[in-house]
């Protein structure tokens, strides 16, 4: 029984952090991917989705001349970067958390935040896609980065949706293991093997590659 004790996707607390194993976890890979895409969208919208008039006195958003749409798209990229960094830090520290209720709160936060960002990026995608090019600009302009931001928002939706799925799997695992008698008391100091959905530890199960 003790050899198989796990809580919310990771083994007992006190294990040694292994960067190589951690970086090959599927959900960690998704976080890194989400961070890169979020950064790319942030740059693409903030720097490439505005047209500056000839006199330099006016900036026009390439998404239907809606400054709020440009601001929203840029903000989504920025918040995706911050969220990815925060959740990566949580992933790295998760194995050190010995309290099962604390692990539950961490996984619940992960699941809700990932699902929320997936939903918001879906809205972002349709907003940018439907409004791109609806501007009255007589001069030729380069809209390459603005188009790229549309693709980045779609990829972010997929990535955060997948991250929410992994978080849900960890939550479901925790719900099941909480029914084991004396689980909280038995949860102690060694890393154990078993299905792993994201967090660092000594198990290679669930590792991509």
Q: Which domain holds residue 114?
A: 14-178
Q: How do residues 173-200 score in pLDDT, each as one tens digit?
A: 776 655 444 444 444 444 444 455 555 4
Tell me, yes or no, whether 183 lies in a domain: no
Among left, alpha and beta (phi > 0; psi -120 to 50; other), residue 14 is: left
Tell me, yes or no, whether 104 lies in a domain: yes
Number of Cα atoms under 13 Å in the Cβ half of residue 13? 14
CB atoms under 10 Å from CB of 59, counted, come to: 13
Tell me, yes or no, whether 189 lies in a domain: no
Overall domain count for the chain: 1
Tell me, yes or no, whether 8 lies in a domain: no
Tell me, yes or no, whether 18 lies in a domain: yes
Tell me, yes or no, whether 198 lies in a domain: no
Tell me, yes or no, whether 141 lies in a domain: yes
Tell me, yes or no, whether 2 lies in a domain: no
- Separation of alpha carbons 115 and 95, rounded Å: 23
Q: How do residues 101-125 score in pLDDT, each as one tens digit?
A: 888 888 999 999 999 999 999 999 9
Residue 125 CB partners (closer than 8 Å, separation 6+): 150, 153, 154, 157
Can you give the pTM of this predicted structure?
0.76
């Amino acid at each position: 029984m003790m050899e198989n004790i796990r809580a919310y996707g990771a083994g007992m607390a006190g294990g040694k952090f292994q960067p190589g194993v951690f970086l090959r976890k599927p959900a960690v890979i998704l976080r890194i991917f989400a961070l890169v895409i979020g950064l790319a969208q942030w740059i693409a919208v903030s720097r490439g989705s505005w047209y500056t008039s000839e006199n330099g006195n006016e900036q026009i958003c390439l998404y239907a001349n809606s400054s709020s749409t440009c601001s929203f798209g840029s903000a989504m990229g920025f918040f995706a970067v911050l969220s990815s960094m925060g959740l990566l830090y949580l992933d790295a520290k998760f194995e050190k958390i010995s309290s099962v209720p604390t692990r539950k709160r961490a996984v619940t936060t992960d699941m809700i935040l990932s699902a929320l960002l997936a939903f918001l990026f879906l809205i972002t995608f349709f907003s940018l896609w439907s409004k791109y090019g609806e501007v009255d600009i007589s001069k030729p302009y380069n809209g390459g980065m603005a188009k790229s931001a549309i693709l980045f928002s779609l990829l972010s939706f997929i990535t955060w949706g997948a991250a929410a799925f992994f978080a849900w799997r960890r939550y479901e695992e925790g719900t099941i293991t909480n029914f084991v008698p004396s689980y909280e008391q038995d949860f102690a100091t060694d890393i154990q093997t078993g299905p792993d959905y994201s967090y660092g530890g000594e198990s290679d199960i669930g590792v991509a590659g």
